[in-house]
Amino acid sequence: IRHSAEELSAFAPREGEEKELADRRALMMNGEKLAEGLNTARQALTNEEIERSLRTAQRQLENLSRLTDGKYDAIIDTLARAENELNEAASAVESECDQIEFDPREQEQVEDRLYALRSLARKHQTEPDALPALLADFEAKLSALDKGGDDLITLEKAVEQARVAYLTAARTLSEARKQTAEKLDAAVKAELPPLKLERATFKTQIDMLPESLWGADGLDKVTFTAATNAGTDAAPINKIASGGELARFMLALKVNLATSENIPTLVFDEVDAAIGGATASAVGERLARLARENCQVLVITHSPQVASFGAHHFRVEKGETDGKTITTVRELTDSERREEIARMLSGAEITDASRAAAVELLKNRMNA
């Protein structure tokens, strides 16, 4: 665009210039004939005989008009106008004669200019008379580009300032994460032995992300890692823990994060897998604590110890009605709950000992 604008600006085309040059060229190409004809016309119009004839006729009519009370005044006026127009025509032809100056060099310049004008129009696929408007359009676009360059510099400075501010805030966040991670690791570690994960380790791993992944959450990738057996390397917790272990790790985490999160409902499925006795009681106690603090906790369990800590007890049953398999969920009454926990303790046959144990477990819930 800049090259085209400079080219057009140097040429300086004018609207209507093509016709002006074409007319000028035609005039110069017929200059000799025009000069001869105009000279002949000039001589005819400046012939003194014409002027004398008009004046003679005018005087005669003026004399007659006086004798006839102005009868010929209109004719006299017409003759006067004719004389004036004759003089004007003679002056105009005289002026045209003065302009007829045949100069071969000037004709060559006119032809060169006309050729260059039409060539530029073909180059830009437009009409010669549209070239001035095209130049104005190019100049407007260049002005916008130049202004855009200034805006780009301003934006680049703003981006750099934003980057500095972002890095400052993100690094502050990273440091806060590292300090919080140490506290969280210690708190989760303290929760693991009662959950029968005494040989497990837990660590919050914080790694810096590549710049392309930086975002509103900062520069870090946070991964909860664990090792469930002595001598093994820590790995992301979801890749190395079994379903039950993962549930217990999540319980240990949730117990410590409950006050900082706003999750209305948590669901734990088989959080008591492969544990029993005191460990199951510890799991139940922590679930109850979590529910009391800030959210609703739903637990699917086969452990009577865990079930005894619930504020409500629902039994899920599957049966057949009219040839269709039906699954029902029903909240148990206090007496039904005691019987259900006794059944969970003893199996198919409920004994007095299992009922007594169920009562003790429910007392523990009340005291928890």
Which pLDDT score, from 0 to 100, does residue 32 have? 67
Burial of 188 (0-12, 13-18, 19+ CB in 10 A): buried
The alpha-helical segments, DSSP class H, found in the chain are 2-11, 17-29, 31-45, 48-67, 73-99, 104-123, 131-191, 237-240, 243-257, 277-293, 304-307, 334-346, 352-367
Which pLDDT score, from 0 to 100, does residue 102 have? 62
Residues 308/302, Cβ–Cβ less than 8 Å? no
Pairing of strands 201-208, 324-331: unpaired
Pairing of strands 324-331, 314-321: antiparallel
Total-model pTM:
0.50
Which pLDDT score, from 0 to 100, does residue 80 have? 85
Q: Which residues of the chain have pLDDT under 70?
A: 31-32, 100-103, 148-149, 258-259, 274, 366-368
Query: Could you read off the pLDDT of 8-27 as tens digits, one per residue?
Result: 889 899 999 999 998 888 87
Pairing of strands 296-300, 265-269: parallel
Which pLDDT score, from 0 to 100, does residue 100 have? 67
Domains in the chain, start-ordered, CATH in brackets?
Answer: 2-125 (no CATH), 242-368 (3.40.50.300)
